[in-house]
Structure 1
């Protein structure tokens, strides 16, 4: 028989029991759909997290204060402040030629009021470089200047959600708000950065660092003004690792600490954070994809089971075909093609279902799923392989049936 005849006969056999055929392919359909949907959502989540981190600034190093102790590189936070304003000024002067900007951050949660409206927000005292270092250019108004910082002016740049909570649809520029009872004039409003969880920029207020330290800040036990973190923007990704090492050595020398286990600060690289996040999400995606792949194996077992039943039901038909001159390889090919058609058809339906599921789940989670051609082709190829692997034994069994015994079968 030519290939078209084989496919035609296999297709008629499948349509003879449509409900059973659909239920047989259901395991493959669900398996392929789950693989496509989970990998699409996983890749979309990875891209979304990467974009969120990069939207807050690129080529970033973060110097954080804390108490040393424990394994190398571990810094425990929540103790006495350890990074002083003098440290930040020394960093700016020493690395001026190697950095694009530097922005110290002193922050705390405070109640914010405007007339009868009030809300709670994270108030951040920082330098004007914060606008470029952390990609925080205002959508309305402007950022405060170095002159504002030196003069300790009480001006503020509001996060998007804070502006909405206090002013609704009104223009907040030039209005006076109270932060912990201290009056500030609004000079800018940040764009909507989306809800990125605990430290969402939408729920922050930015004020000049000197103003913050005078009105809201804290000092260490020697009375020196301190900051929580320092954001440093490197000139390029290529030099970021070397800059990280230099800053670590510089801070250790300033704090007179020679043992890395006792460092009272840490210098973190944004590229390392991105790599860690991507590794975690990719590992989780592969794990979920593997779990979904198990359902493909279950579907393959279902195909084998039904094909064995089909061979038993069609024993007399096989005998008649052999009596009319069909060779064992023709019988083998016929049943193998039936199995492959079931699995490939299930794979195609599964791909369509998976794409739809990923888009629906993505809309609910506000994530844009990403689909790679390689993952779609891999899922399809695996479904076809399942049909061949699990269909071969039933097809071989049919091909080996004795024609005389098959004709006698009732």
Structure 2
């Protein structure tokens, strides 16, 4: 107990030196807390988004029996636009998205204005008359619009392009070099966070909004991207609210199997395993990054601790010599210096955790998701604080315990 009191008394006598040493520990521990909290928040957000998408969307692909066929979609033609139209009217199907050559047909297009060159990102889809849409401004498509280049955009698109969304009505939007007249603005609907997941795999664009155009016009655009020959190699199925996406997808797969019974192969449904794998990879990367920060904090803070403890040994050689001369054992001297170094790092660690908590709350307000204080972060911080004191205080403590009493007193 006396050793601990002596150690604390010595640290109290050198407050400024101790504080300067603790600064690096504080910075390192704060960094660990902030990074692990951001990582935990991002992981939770992505997991939530992935789960929502997996409950609403899946992909159907055709797997031929003969896998040696390199481009089976060209020869077998497992999907046609007639299939897409037929599937779109099936129960539980909210949306069908064909894909070709590994990319979605309903690709993101940019808008080029005539005045201020503003742009927005849209995901095009064909309009289905059987499913009513709500219009907030302008009008819905009419029978005369079947082959006209007209489009319904979202409120977000309108806000991106015009100061006043109502100005969008009657103006033109440039989609892949062709002008389309904006005849209406879709009423905002609460959409699942699937757009965020899709955006993650499409260049990180988070403004991924669905716009509608007449069916025949959309098919022409699709054919343009199919280069007239390429065939659809998979379709994405989005289930209507209240329907199980995999049950709907299985029904669609059975329907396609009936329509193409002459094909040698099977229609299979996919889930969000790839997204989950990406999430696991990202989480693993964040964890590795945190470990690197922890090691850097350990090293930088440890160098400071080792430096101050060496200075302390040099300054207190006479004291050490006297204590050794009157019977103090080497292990007692060593223990006292270890207590001092460990106390510095633990106190720095505690202050770093407190500052880290405050920093997380501040940073969380600047992020599109909520940073979550991670137990893992506090474990890393605690271990870093203790190990830094022990490891980097051990060498100076060992040196102090091995001083020759007579030479130490003489110095």
TM-score (norm 1): 0.69
- 1:282 alignment counterpart: 283
For residues 308-330 of structure 1, the C-alpha deviation after alignment (integer angstroms, 9 at most, x for no partner) is 44223312112333455645554
1:147-170: CA deviations, max 9, x gaps?
979995987542344211444234
Is 1:103 the counterpart of 2:96? The answer is yes
Of the structure 1 ranges 248-257 and 39-48, higher mean CA displacement relative to structure 2 is found in 248-257
Match of 2:184 in 1: 186
Structure-2 change in CA distance of 1:347 and 1:117 (3 Å): closer
Match of 2:215 in 1: 210
Structure 2 residue 22 is matched with structure 1 residue 20? no
Q: CA deviation at 1:267?
A: 5.4
CA contact (8 A) 2:93 2:248 kept: no
Output one character per residue of 1:373-407: Cα deviation in whole Å (capped at 9) or x when no partner: 33213311331133123324433443454544543
Q: Conserved in 2, the CA contact under 8 Å of 1:320 and 1:403?
A: yes
Alignment partner, residue 169 of structure 1: 164
> 1:107 touches 1:125 (CA, 8 Å); kept in 2?
yes
Task: Pick closer, same or farther for the CA change 1:23–1:302 going to 2, 3 Å.
Answer: same
Distance 1:114 1:171 in 2: 16
Question: TM-score normalised to the size of structure 2?
Answer: 0.69
Report the counterpart of residue 124 of structure 1 in structure 2: 124
SS in 1 for 2:59: strand
1:251-330 to 2 correspondence within 5 Å? 254=260, 258=264, 268-269=270-271, 271-298=272-299, 299-323=301-325, 326-330=328-332
Q: Is the 8 A contact 1:60 1:232 kept in 2?
A: yes
The 8 Å contact of residues 155 and 165 in structure 2, kept in 1 or not, is answered as: no
Residues 111/318 of structure 1: CA separation in 2 closer, same or farther (3 Å cut): closer
- Give me the whole-angstrom Cα distance separating, in 2, the residues matched to 1:282 and 1:130: 43
Q: How many residues align?
A: 389
Does the Cα contact within 8 Å between 1:176 and 1:185 map onto a contact in 2?
yes
Q: What is the alpha-carbon distance in structure 1 between the residues aligned to residue 323 and residue 404 of structure 2?
A: 11
Distance verdict in 2 for CA 1:281–1:267, change over 3 Å: same
Displacement after TM superposition at 1:288 (Å): 0.9
Structure 1: which 5+ runs fail to align?
Answer: none
* 2: CA distance, partners of 1:347 / 1:130: 63
User: 1:10 corresponds to which residue?
Assistant: 7
Superposition CA RMSD, Å: 5.3
| Separation in structure 1 between the aligned mates of residue 203 and residue 62 of structure 2, nearest angstrom | 20
Q: Is the 8 A contact 1:335 1:395 kept in 2?
A: yes
What CA deviation, in whole Å up to 9, does each residue of 1:171-191 have, x standing for no partner? 469x44445445452142436
What is the alpha-carbon distance in structure 2 between the residues aligned to residue 178 and residue 228 of structure 1? 32
Task: State the match for 2:81 in structure 1.
Answer: 85
Return 5+ residue gaps in structure 2 as ranges: 99-104
Specify the SS of the correspondent of 1:218: helix
Counterpart for residue 238 of structure 2: 232
Q: In structure 2, do the counterparts of structure 1 residues 304 and 114 end up closer, same or farther at CA, with 3 Å as the change threshold? A: closer
C-alpha offsets along residues 251-286 of structure 1, whole Å, 9 cap, x if unaligned?
6883866579xxxx99542x3233123112212111
Structure 1, 199-208 or 27-36: larger mean CA deviation: 199-208
Tell which deviates more after alignment, 17-26 or 279-288: 17-26
Whether the 8 Å contact between 1:85 and 1:224 is mirrored in structure 2 is: no
**Map of 1:303-382 to 2, 5 A cutoff?**
303-323=305-325, 326-355=328-357, 358=360, 366-382=368-384
How far 1:27 sits from its partner (Å)? 4.1
**Residue 362 and residue 42 in structure 1: after superposition, are their counterparts in 2 closer, same or farther (change >3 A)?**
same
Q: Secondary structure at the match of 1:107?
A: coil
Greater Cα shift, 104-113 or 381-390: 104-113
Deviation at 1:290, TM superposition (A): 1.8
**Conservation of the 8 A alpha-carbon contact between 2:24 and 2:297:** yes
How far off is 1:344 after superposition? 0.6
Q: Within 2, Cα distance between the matches of 1:71 and 1:28?
A: 60
Report the CA distance shift for 1:306/1:246 in structure 2 as closer, same or farther (over 3 A). Answer: farther
Deviation track 1:21-71 (CA, whole Å, cap 9, x = no partner) reads 33433443333233222222222333344455567684310347999x999
Residues 112 and 178 of structure 1 are in contact (CA less than 8 Å); yes or no, is this contact kept in structure 2?
no
